[in-house]
Amino acid sequence: MSAVVEVSARHRLGAFALDAAFASNGRLTALFGRSGSGKTTLINVISGLIRPQAGRVVVDGRVMVDSAAGIFVPKHRRRIGYVFQEARLFPHLTVRQNLLYGRWFAPRTEDRGSRLDDVLDLLGIGHLLHRAPGTLSGGEKQRVAIGRALLAKPGLLLMDEPLASLDEQRKAEILPHIERLRDGFGIPIVYVSHSIAEVARLATHLVILDQGRVTMSGPTAELMSRPDIPILSSAPEAGAIIEARVLRHEPEHGLTILQTPMGPLQIARRSVPEGAQLRVRILARDVMLSLRPLDEISALNVLPGTVSAIGGRHGDGAALEVRLDCNGAGLLARLTAKSAEQLRLAPGSAVYAVIKSVSIDTP
Amino acid sequence: MSDWLSPQEWTAVRLSLVVATTAMLASLLPGLAVAWLLARGRFWGKSLLDALIHLPLIMPPVVTGYLLLIGFGRRGPIGQVLDDWFGIVLSFRWTGAALACAVMGFPLLVRAIRLSIEAIDRKLEDAAGTLGAGPFWVFLTVTLPLALPGILAGMILCFAKAMGEFGATITFVSNIPGETQTLPSAIYTLTQVPDGDAGAMRLTLISIAISVAALLASELLARLVGRRLPVA
């Protein structure tokens, strides 16, 4: 089966050279890397804002760029939505007119009546329709920009650090909307970010860029639990992602019990219904390792596993990351090189991961 | 009002308004096209075109008028073609006066529009492109509305220039009452005859009134447009 997005591009811009290729089937593909790594250049190639010197872009089976065959579909015929870092709303139009702008150019075959309501509902912007863009807050602008791109009925949605210019509170306000968009709208998303927290929360597929090249590409949970990808594993917020389901609540203790591939997990109570799917993030720095099962300990989660890989120390620092295989699920633990040596950890060692319930994050 | 002005003066006022309005409207579309080319185009000879457009602004108006006479006169290379093929005669007609005014006002019109197009954030045009708008629609729905204040300013400048145009007009189409005698020509004529002072003063006051009205109209329009735009 061919991928939803397939890109390879070579492009030189002054001293910067992009030479990147990836293919993804994910609902939300994150392009992750430091600033200047070529993330934005790459999605500009996908959108048609940049014509690469050489390359090939295929979206959902449709060839957009093929420099060898001389194909270059101009941006307005690609039906690829783009949410820019700065919302770029049209200042001379109202919010409503901004939202409906793409409809003039979208094919008229589909039902045109209901989508506006769906989008208003999804993004919670119904009350802003008659405002001018200049009067909106940063978060509101960005939600209108997302709605505007969606209403142009794109086959693919590109988002270039849509949260970068917002404060923490505004980010928290928009993230749930992007999650609902990912899970309920059926439009694949390519999302540019340099924030591990955002990627961990949103991405199903992860593409890591460094100096214009793709260094890694794969499912987010798999890459996040590898100890040998320094940009992820040596970051302070490194950690594994585990897909879980809510098993039951224990109101008397204020706990929620999750079912995960590595066994039941007890976390601080969340207001999610039983049976709901949930993504859990366990930071590497919150995981302790023990060679024997511990019973008289305050931490509620003690999970058996085997060491599958040990990363190197970061420079001359004390810490390193260890990847555990817990019944098929990957877990990342950060410990000092000294502890790893004292415990004689090596790939294949049987260990117990100790995780405090209160430190488990559900992003 | 017609009691206050002599029939000849009244004709000059009316003719001036018709000539200036025609000049302004006729140069609008070519002015937009040239302004867009100068603001956005990348082509060989761009600075040459820019210089050519600005020539009427720096040359003596009489020179411009004389060149028009050579080119668009009945025997001129362009004038002859227009006459033979389309039956259009410009020399010594009010249409010729409108042409002279349009040529003189053109650089002002183009300059104002060009500056406002250059001030538009091209990222907005890119955004419109990703929403499915082709280049023509981007121009019509984003570039043009955002350039509107500059377009209005350019139109008013062009109109005001046309109302006051004297040198090129009188050289090209002369000073024929009822056909090519515009306000400035009429004022000039009145100052050359005995007892013409009162008439010259009346036309001068009207000229001032029209200029002020045009200025106020442009302010009003700019404010109406500006209400839709963020405060600059």
B122: nearest CA partner in chain A: A88
DSSP B107-135: HHHHHHHHHHHHTS-HHHHHHHHHTT--H
The residue-averaged pLDDT of B203-223 equals 87
Cα distance between residue A147 and residue A233, in whole Å: 35
Note the pLDDT of residue B227.
62
Shared domain for A327 and A255, answered yes or no, is yes
Shared domain for A203 and A115, answered yes or no, is yes
Asked which of A169, A201, A224 is the last residue of a domain, the reply is A224
- Does residue A107 belong to the interface with chain B, where contact is any CB pair within 8 Å? no
**Contact state of A90 with B124 under an 8 Å Cβ cutoff:** yes
Shared domain for A41 and A158, answered yes or no, is yes
A83: nearest CA partner in chain B: B127
Shared domain for A62 and A207, answered yes or no, is yes
Note the pLDDT of residue B171.
93
> CATH number for the domain including A298?
2.40.50.100
Class of domain B14-181: mainly alpha
Does some domain include residue A51?
A: yes
> What confidence category does residue A22 fall into, taking pLDDT thresholds of 50, 70 and 90?
very high
DSSP code of A361?
B
Cα distance between residue A100 and residue A284, in whole Å: 45
Structural domain count of chain A: 2
> What confidence category does residue B95 fall into, taking pLDDT thresholds of 50, 70 and 90?
very high
**Contact state of B131 with A84 under an 8 Å Cβ cutoff:** no
Shared domain for A102 and A161, answered yes or no, is yes
- Does residue A297 belong to the interface with chain B, where contact is any CB pair within 8 Å? no
Domain borders along chain B are 14-181
Closest chain A C-alpha to B90 CA, distance in angstroms: 41
Shared domain for A276 and A184, answered yes or no, is no
| Token pair listed for A35 | 């600033």
Shared domain for A190 and A273, answered yes or no, is no
Does some domain include residue A145?
A: yes
Q: What is the pTM of this model?
A: 0.82
Shared domain for A187 and A260, answered yes or no, is no
* Residue A74 with chain B: CB contacts under 8 Å: 129, 134
CA separation, residue A272 to residues A244, A257, A263, A268 (Å): 12, 11, 19, 12
Shared domain for A264 and A135, answered yes or no, is no
Euclidean distance between the first and the last CA atom of chain A, given in angstroms as a whole number: 31
Asked which of A224, A253, A273 is the last residue of a domain, the reply is A224
The residue-averaged pLDDT of A213-222 equals 90
Cβ contacts below 8 Å, chain A against chain B, sum to 74
Q: Which domain holds residue A44?
A: 5-224
What digits encode the pLDDT tens for the residues A129-155?
999 998 998 889 999 999 999 998 898
Is pLDDT at B232 greater than 50 in this prediction? no
> CATH number for the domain including A136?
3.40.50.300
> What confidence category does residue A156 fall into, taking pLDDT thresholds of 50, 70 and 90?
very high
A81: nearest CA partner in chain B: B130
Does some domain include residue A326?
A: yes
A154: nearest CA partner in chain B: B131
Shared domain for A178 and A278, answered yes or no, is no
Q: What size, in residues, is chain B?
A: 232
Does some domain include residue A233?
A: no
- Does residue A350 belong to the interface with chain B, where contact is any CB pair within 8 Å? no
Asked which of A190, A224, A258 is the last residue of a domain, the reply is A224
Does some domain include residue A232?
A: no
**Contact state of B146 with A92 under an 8 Å Cβ cutoff:** yes
* Those residues with Cβ within 8 angstroms of residue A143's Cβ, 6 or more apart along the chain or in another chain: A123, A124, A125, A174, A177
Interface predicted TM-score (ipTM) of this complex, two decimals:
0.81
The residue with greater pLDDT, A3 or A331, is A331
